[in-house]
Amino acid sequence: MSIVSVIIQLIVSGLAIGSVYGLIAIAHSMIWSGIRVVNFAQGEILMIGASVSLMYVTGEWGARLPFIPAAIIGAMAAAIMGLLIYLLVMRPTTKSGFLYVIGGCVGMQMLLQNTAILIWGATGRPYPAIFPMEPVSIGGVFIVPQDIFILLISLASAGILWLFLTRTKTGTAMRASSQNRSVAGLMGINHVRTDALTIIIASALAGIAGILIAPKFFVTPTMGASINSKAFTAAVLGGFGNIPGAIVGGLLLGVVENLAGGVFTSQAKDAVSFIILILIMMFKPGGLFDAGPGRKA
Amino acid sequence: MKSVNCIQFIKKHRILSLFVFFVILVSGIIGIGDPYMSHVLIIGGIYGFLAIGLNVVTGLCGQINLGMAGFYAIGSYTSALLSTKLGVHFLVAFPVSIVFAAIAGLIIGYPALKVRGGVYLVLITTSFASIIQTILTQWVSLTNGPMGVVGIESPSFFGLTVQSLDSWLILTYFLLLVAMIVGMNIEHSRIGRSLKAVRESDTAAQSLGVNLAYYKILAFVISAAFGGAGGSLYAYYMTTVSPDIYNMNLSVQTLTMIVIGGVGSIPGSILGGIIIAVLPEMLRFLGSLQMVVYALLIVMATILLRRGLLGTGVDAIRFFKKALMGGASNG
């Protein structure tokens, strides 16, 4: 096996995991640009999406469903949980200050993790592979079909979201209130409705991300925390609040991280994310696509 | 009326009343003599250092810092390595640990200057703490990796070794009292006033001649120094350190301490530190529900206690005083 084919394999699996980071980064960016809060418990929403859908895939909660309906139920559970966190924690604490939002979300994170331990136990559960896992050789390069499916589904979800935001009236209303909240309100946009919709869509995306990544790792109560910190880096890389930037940031981070893991050690993989974060904050705090202070990219 | 005089007395002689409070607290715990309780309260006292540090940077200066675990780790490892590898005495290792942590605060304060908005500050400080933890785990030749450093010698003063729980209680709370006095003096000095001005509006502070960069970095340095002091004490108390305790959870817990104690209140920090150490133990009877209830209480405290326990208590006293006086004038 030549070095080139190894590198291509690393890039393909990096793109797959990177697209999942991208989905969660989109969720962060949507919430930040729309409502100006940050959901630090996004990782736990992802975990709930994955765990609930696993319950239906394995048939532990009554019905044994095929993957797609189970995934939809998981994404819905994630969306409901996101809305609950927003209404019960983020909205009341926003008035007291950003510090309290973080405190509340982090407390929520602890609460959800420990509740998940009570319900599902602390040990990891394998998620049955939906797509073929055996590598397929394409011209000497071994590619896992699952990676391709993950990449396609994430990109498709991001694409559908983009169409929704640009082509529908509701989507345009959401973009308008993210650009200028008060003027959008004067134009008759109902903030309560757009805020709720933003949270629901973002949390459902996080849920989908969790379900996509579950077969690659185990489903554990703490699975969300590390993925979420990577997603933050991806969002910052693309410019916090920039939705197309988020998916590019995610893909880039996934590939760089995977290459670092392949070339150096697996510890280097985690360190890369932090190093990128610090560098981007020092030299390009507005993200890769930032045109400079005061200008919109 | 007598209670009002008492409050006025406490207000006038803050340090004296704090000293009396600590003496009563410590002698009470020693009197009870429950070793487990003493241990939890020593840990709570060490948490107090972290909370004071975070209150300087977050409470006074308004800069969010979720990297306290990193400063704590630097303090711990500096003490541990100085003590085990070079055989340095506590009286030297303790200040050196504080200085090393403060230098780390200087390094992290600089990039923190450049970012706009709280989200970025959260990310930069959490990644700092993660990098420190990764270094401690990976640099095996210096830090012994995940195995940690063992056999840190207990501090001794004039032939008396601080080893028993009682002596540790006295040492911890004595140093905590000193830290608190230092913290309160910082709050009421020119530095504290400038930090508060930066918190309220950095543009306005700058236009009044406050050097923004200097004070923002200084806030990080001071908070790191307190974190380092706590870390050093922790290393000496436990006599062993390992990288796994300096995790994200610790930084988050510190944030919870100041939210519970009151953001910007130095005496509240100590209350917050002790509560965060004691609360899980008090909930132990709940069994598997322990952590769920604990997390629920934290979420509720964050939503409800906008001014912290101490601030809410003061508000309540004021409210009742007003109600009593109103009742008196009506009657």
Residues B263, A118: C-beta atoms closer than 8 Å? no
Q: Does A104 touch chain B (CB under 8 A)?
A: yes
**Which chain A residue has its CA at the smallest distance from B113's CA?**
A282
Task: Tell me whether residue A283 is in a domain.
Answer: no
Cβ-contact A195, A87 below 8 angstroms: no
Cβ-contact A152, A141 below 8 angstroms: no
Q: Which residue has the tokens 């995610």?
A: A250
pLDDT grade for B52, boundaries at 50, 70 and 90: very high
**Which chain A residue has its CA at the smallest distance from B111's CA?**
A282
DSSP codes of every residue in B280-303: HHHTGGGGGGHHHHHHHHHHHHHH
Three-state DSSP state, A39? coil
Q: How far is B104 from chain A (nearest CA, A)?
A: 15
Task: Tell me whether residue A98 is in a domain.
Answer: yes
Query: What percent of chain A stands above pLDDT 90?
Result: 21
Chain A residues touching B302 at Cβ < 8 A: 89, 93, 100, 103-104, 107
The count of other CB atoms within 10 Å of the CB of residue A226 is 15
Number of domains chain A contains = 1
**Which chain A residue has its CA at the smallest distance from B262's CA?**
A100
Q: Which residue has the tokens 């908070």?
A: B223
Which of A8, A98, A89 minimizes the C-alpha distance to A42? A89
Residues A38, B119: C-beta atoms closer than 8 Å? yes
Amino acid at A228: N
Give pLDDT, residue B329: 52
Residues B131, A233: C-beta atoms closer than 8 Å? no
Q: Does A232 touch chain B (CB under 8 A)?
A: yes
Chain A residues touching B248 at Cβ < 8 A: 225
Give pLDDT, residue B99: 94
CA–CA dist A45, A203 (Å, integer): 7
Q: Does A30 touch chain B (CB under 8 A)?
A: no
Give pLDDT, residue A130: 75
Residues A99, B263: C-beta atoms closer than 8 Å? yes
Give pLDDT, residue B3: 57
Q: Does B174 touch chain A (CB under 8 A)?
A: no
Structure tokens at A49: 């999406």
pLDDT grade for B6, boundaries at 50, 70 and 90: low
**Which chain B residue has its CA at the smallest distance from A99's CA?**
B64
Q: Classify residue B287 by burial, with Cβ atoms within 10 Å: 0-12, 13-18, 19+.
A: exposed
Query: What percent of chain B stands above pLDDT 90?
Result: 18
Residues A100, B116: C-beta atoms closer than 8 Å? no
Nearest CB to A103; choose among B119, B138, B259: B259
| Window 265-304 of B, Cβ < 8 Å to A | 288-289, 291-292, 294-296, 298-299, 302-303
Nearest CB to A102; choose among B122, B295, B298: B122
**Which chain A residue has its CA at the smallest distance from B63's CA?**
A99
**Residue of A96, A105, A280 to mutate for B, most B C-beta atoms under 10 A:** A96
Task: Tell me whether residue A32 is in a domain.
Answer: yes
Residues B259, A99: C-beta atoms closer than 8 Å? yes
Structure tokens at B204: 């306005």
pLDDT grade for A279, boundaries at 50, 70 and 90: confident
Q: Does B21 touch chain A (CB under 8 A)?
A: no
> Which domains are assigned to chain B?
2-330 (1.10.3470)
CA–CA dist B250, B70 (Å, integer): 9
B225 pLDDT higher than 50: yes
Residues A103, B123: C-beta atoms closer than 8 Å? no
Cβ-contact B73, B136 below 8 angstroms: yes
Residues A240, B120: C-beta atoms closer than 8 Å? yes
Q: Which residues contact A23 (CB under 8 A, 6 or more apart)?
A: A154, A157, A158, A205, A206, A208, A209, A212, A247, A250
pLDDT in tens, A59-87: 778 778 888 888 899 999 999 999 999 99
Q: Does B108 touch chain A (CB under 8 A)?
A: no
Which of A53, A113, A100 minimizes the C-alpha distance to A79? A53
**Residue of B61, B123, B126, B279 to mutate for A, most A C-beta atoms under 10 A:** B123
Cα–Cα distances in Å, from A172 out to A66, A166, A296, B80, B259? Answer: 34, 6, 18, 58, 38
Task: Tell me whether residue A159 is in a domain.
Answer: yes
Chain B residues touching A249 at Cβ < 8 A: none
pLDDT in tens, B115-153: 766 778 888 888 888 888 888 888 888 888 788 888 888
Q: What is the mean pLDDT of residues B104-125?
A: 80
Amino acid at A66: P
**Which chain B residue has its CA at the smallest distance from A285's CA?**
B115
Q: Does A90 touch chain B (CB under 8 A)?
A: no
The number of C-alpha atoms within 13 Å of A153 and in the hemisphere containing its C-beta is 21
Residues A102, B66: C-beta atoms closer than 8 Å? yes
Cα–Cα distances in Å, from A174 out to A136, A155, B113? Answer: 42, 21, 32
Size of interface A-B (CB pairs under 8 A): 107
* Lowest-confidence segment of A8-12, B86-90, B311-315 by average pLDDT: B311-315
B51 pLDDT higher than 90: yes
Task: Tell me whether residue A99 is in a domain.
Answer: yes
Nearest CB to B252; choose among A89, A106, A114: A106
pLDDT grade for B331, boundaries at 50, 70 and 90: very low
CA–CA dist B211, A20 (Å, integer): 43
A144 pLDDT higher than 90: no
**Which chain B residue has its CA at the smallest distance from A29's CA?**
B119
Q: Does A70 touch chain B (CB under 8 A)?
A: no
Residue A135: left (phi > 0), alpha (psi -120 to 50), or beta? beta
A241 pLDDT higher than 70: yes
Determine the Cα angle at A293 with ends A291 and A294, to 5°.
95
**Which chain B residue has its CA at the smallest distance from A237's CA?**
B120
Range of the domain at A92: 20-223
Structure tokens at B312: 């809410």
Task: Tell me whether residue A132 is in a domain.
Answer: yes
Residue A136 pairs with which residues in a beta bridge? Answer: A143
CA–CA dist B153, A112 (Å, integer): 41
Q: Which residue has the tokens 């817990």?
A: B253
Residue B240 pairs with which residues in a beta bridge? Answer: B150
Q: Does A233 touch chain B (CB under 8 A)?
A: yes
Q: Which residues contact B47 (CB under 8 A, 6 or more apart)?
A: B230, B253, B254, B257, B272, B273, B274, B276, B277
Q: Does B119 touch chain A (CB under 8 A)?
A: yes
Q: What is the mean pLDDT of residues B217-226?
A: 92
A272 pLDDT higher than 70: yes
DSSP codes of every residue in A98-160: HHHHHHHHHHHHHHHHHHHHHHH-SS-EEPPPSS--S-EEETTEEE-HHHHHHHHHHHHHHHH
Three-state DSSP state, A219? strand
Task: Tell me whether residue A267 is in a domain.
Answer: no
Q: Does A285 touch chain B (CB under 8 A)?
A: yes
Q: How far is A81 from chain B (nearest CA, A)?
A: 15
Residues A107, B292: C-beta atoms closer than 8 Å? no
